[in-house]
Chains A and B, each alone.
Chain A
Amino acid sequence: MTGSAIFLQQIVNGVSLGAVYALLALGFTLVYGILELINFAHFSVFMVGAFVALVVLQAFGLQGQSVVLHGAPLVLVLLVALVVTMVASGALGVMIERYTLRPMRNVKGPMAMITTIGVSYILFNLVLLATNAQAINFPDPMPAASYHVGGVVIRLKEILIWIVSAALMVGLNLFVKRTRLGKAMRAVAQDAEAARMMGVDVDHVVMIAFFAGSALAGAAGMIFGLYYNFAQYSIGYTAGLRAFTAAVLGGIGNVPGAMLGGIVIGLIETLGSQYIAARWADVIIFSILIGTLVFRPAGLLGMLAPNRS
C-alpha cells in the first residue's frame, strides 16, 4: 500500500468508527440539552440495543456467519430488526426516565446523574449474568462485497453504516429544528418553567427526548453488532466513554456538534493508531477531552444550551 492509500484507508476506518460514536453521542447531547443531565445509563441502553438486535436477527434464523441474504429479503430483515431495536431501546429509555429520573427532577445536585450510573450498572450486570460474561457471535447477513478504489478497500457494510447513520442524524436534526415537538424541546431546553407557562407539556417533551436518544443508541447498538460481529455486556463502556468525549468535544447539547465530535474522535483513534501506536489511543482521546474542557469548554461548535435567566 502506498502512503496516501494507507492514509485514505484509515480515514475510511475512522469515519465508520466515528459514525457509531456520533449516533451514541446524540443521545447524550439530546438529554443534556434539555435536562442538563449527563445520562450514564445511555451506555447500557446502547449495549442492550445490540442484544435486542441479536435476538431479532436470530429469530429470523440468522446464526453466526452461516446465512447471507441478498436484495429485498436482506433489506426487509435489517429494517424490521432496526425498527424493533429502536422501539425497544426507546421504550427502555422512557422507562428509565419515568421510574428513576422523573422523581428526581427537582432534586438539586448530582443525585440524578448518580441514579443514571446506578441504572447503568443494573443493566450491565443483568446482561453479564444472562450471558455469563461471554462474547456472543453476532449474525452477519450482509454479503461480503467490497470495492477497491485506488489502494483503498471500502466494504459494503461500511457504506451501509454511513448511510444509516447519516439518515438518522439528519432526521434528528430536522426533527429538532423543524417540527412543533422539536420547537417545544428547544423551548424546554431554554427555560422549562416558561415553556410550561406557555402550555408546553414538559414531561411529555422530556419523555420524547429520552425516547429519541435511546432509540438512536439502540440503532447504534445494532450497527455496532453488524459491523463488528459480536456483542458483549462490556461494549457500552468503551464506546460510551468515547461517545461522551465526542459530545463534549462537539459542544454538549449541540446536535451537529455531537456528529462532528464523533467523526473527529473516530479519525483521531485510527490515525493515532497508524502514525503513533494503538496503545496510545486512549491517552490521546482523553487528553483531548481534558484539553477541550480547559481551553474551549463550550466545545467545537459551542453549547446550544442557551442563557438561563
Chain B
Amino acid sequence: MISRRHALRGTAATAATAALITAGAPGAFASDKVYRIGITLPLTGADAEAAHLILNGALLAIKLANSSGELKGVTLEPMVLNNATATAGQYDPAQAATNARKLAGDKSVLANVGPEMSGSGKAMAPILSMADLATITPSSTAPALTDPQFAGEFVPGGKPIYFRTVTTDAYQGPNMANFYAETLKVPSVYVLDDSGAYGVGLADAFAAQAKVKGIKVLGRDRLDPKAADYSAVLTKIKATNAASLYYGGTMQAAVKLVKQSYQIVPGIKKGGGDGILSPEMMTAAGFPAAEGWYATNASPHVVDDPKLASWVALYAKTYGVQPDDYAITSYDAALVAIAAIKAVIRSGKPLTAANVRNAVQTVKINGLQGPISFDKYGDLSTRVVAVFQFKQDKSAPLADMDKQTVYIGVAPQS
C-alpha cells in the first residue's frame, strides 16, 4: 500500500516534466543507439501529485546519466506511461496491465521504473515476468509481490522481475513493534486493523513481533471501515488498561478511530503504518485528536539529510517542486536500472531486457538513501522503516505533511 502522503507538499510540475519528456535525451550523440526505460505511474487523478514527484526523480537520474556520457554509445530515453484512468479517478490496475504489455512488446525497453501502487504491481508483475523485463518500484510495499509463496501468481516466468527500493510491510509492522518495545517501552498493546489485505497483514506482523519483544498483546480486533461507531471497541480497550494501541490500515477507518480514541482512551500511545501517514490525518481526523499518533514509512527519511542538500536543490531547480522521500527512492530505482545497463554494456553481452534483468539482480550501488542491493526475491537488502509523529504546527497549512509531522528516527531492526 502506499497512500497520498506528502501529496500536498508542492504543486505538480506537469508542464515542466512534459517539456522534458518531449525534449528527449539531452546530450545524446547522433550516432548513439537509443534504448528506453519505462516509467509507469498514475499521473492523473487522485494520485497525480505524489506520482509527479516520483516521475521527476526517475527523469532526473536518466537525464544525468545521458549527459555524463557514462553509457558509452547508448542514449536512454524515458518512456512515460500513465496508469491512472478517468473511470477509476486514481490508479487503475487494468491500465497498468495494458502498459505492461506495451513495455513487454517493445524490444527497445530495457527496464521499467514503477509502479507506485501495489495494486498496479499485482497486475503488471505476471506480464513483465513472462517478458523477463525488470521493474523497480519506488513505493509499493505489499509483501505478496515478492513472496515466494505467491511466485506462481506474480513470477510465472521463474526469475524475479519485481525489485524494490523500499522495504515491505513484512518489516514495517515488526520494526514498529520493536519501536514500541525499545523506544516507547510500553508493557501492553491492543492491536486493530481495518479488515483490508494491507491492514490485516500489517497488524498481524506487528502483533507477532510485539509478543516476541515481550509486549503483552491484550486483544486483536477488526474494524469495519464503513461503520461509524468504534466506541464499543474502544471502551473494551479502555477496560483492558492497555498502555498502547496499534492500528494497521488506511484512512477510511482511521478518521473515526483517531477521533473516538481521543475521547475514550486519550492517554495511551497510538500508532500505525504508512496507511495513516497521510494529510487526511490532519484535514479529516484533525487536531487535537491526531496529535501524538505515530506512523511509519517503508523507506528511510533522507529528504532533509544535509548530505542530500545539493541533490534536493538540483531537483527543486529542475522541476520547480520540493522532492519527497519517494522522489528519492524513485531516483534510486532509475539508478539501479542505469547501473544494470552499464554492467551489460561492460560485459559485452547484447543489450536486452533479459540481460538487464540478470544485471539488476546482482546490482550493488550507493543510492541517495544508502547502499542498494537485492535479495534473491527482489527485495531491498536494507530494511529501513522511518517513524514519524503527528505534531501540530499552527503556523503551517493543515495538509502540509512535512510541517505537521516530526521525524522521530529509524525503527529498530530485529
Contact = CB atoms under 8 A, between A and B. Distances in A.
B46 A238 contact: no
Contacts of B231: 13, 16-17, 270
A65 B286 contact: yes
A129 to B, nearest CB: 9
Contact of B235 (A64, A155, A274, A282): A274
Given A10-B232, A14-B232, A270-B231, A230 B224 contact: no
B283 A269 contact: no
Given A134-B280, A135-B255, A135-B284, A228 B224 contact: no
Contacts, number: 98
B395 to A, nearest CB: 14
A165 interface: no
Contact of A274 (B89, B232, B263): B232
Contacts of A13: 229, 231-232, 235
Contact of B221 (A10, A235, A277): A277
Interface string B279-292: 01001111111000
A58 interface: no
Contacts of B283: 134, 137
Interface in A208-238: 224, 228-230, 232, 234-235, 237-238
A5 to B, nearest CB: 8
A270 B283 CA distance: 28
Interface residues of A, number: 39
B236 interface: yes
A6 interface: yes
A270 B234 CA distance: 10
A287 interface: no
A274 B219 CA distance: 11
Given A155-B263, A229-B259, A239 B235 contact: no
Contact of A136 (B228, B230, B236, B284): B284
B226 A135 contact: no
Contacts of A234: 226
Given A230-B284, A234-B226, A279-B222, A1 B232 contact: no
Nearest to A64: B286
B227 A281 contact: yes
Given A135-B252, A230-B255, A274-B236, A224 B228 contact: yes
A65 B283 CA distance: 11
Interface in B187-243: 195, 221-224, 226-233, 235-236, 238-239
A42 to B, nearest CB: 17
A237 B255 CA distance: 17
Interface centre among A16, A229, A282 (most CB of B within 10 A): A229
Given A224-B228, A228-B228, A282-B224, A9 B235 contact: yes
B145 interface: no
Judged by DSSP, the binding face of A is helix
Contacts of B230: 278
A137 B284 contact: yes
A44 to B, nearest CB: 15
Interface in A132-184: 132-137, 144, 155
A223 to B, nearest CB: 12
Contacts of A16: 231
B228 A135 contact: no
Contacts of A65: 286-289
Interface in B243-293: 251-252, 255-256, 259-260, 263, 280, 283-289
Nearest to B288: A65
A228 B255 CA distance: 10
Contacts of B224: 238, 278-279, 281-282
Contacts of B233: 273, 278
B235 A10 contact: yes
A65 B228 CA distance: 18
A47 to B, nearest CB: 11
A273 B228 contact: no
Interface string A254-297: 00000000000000011111100111011000000000000000
Given A135-B284, A230-B256, A230-B259, A235 B223 contact: no
A238 B229 CA distance: 10
Interface of B: 46, 89, 195, 221-224, 226-233, 235-236, 238-239, 251-252, 255-256, 259-260, 263, 280, 283-289
8 contacts: A134-B284, A135-B285, A136-B284, A228-B259, A230-B255, A270-B232, A274-B235, A279-B223
Given A6-B236, A228-B256, A238-B228, 11 more contacts: A1-B239, A10-B235, A136-B284, A238-B224, A238-B227, A269-B232, A270-B229, A270-B231, A270-B232, A274-B235, A278-B232
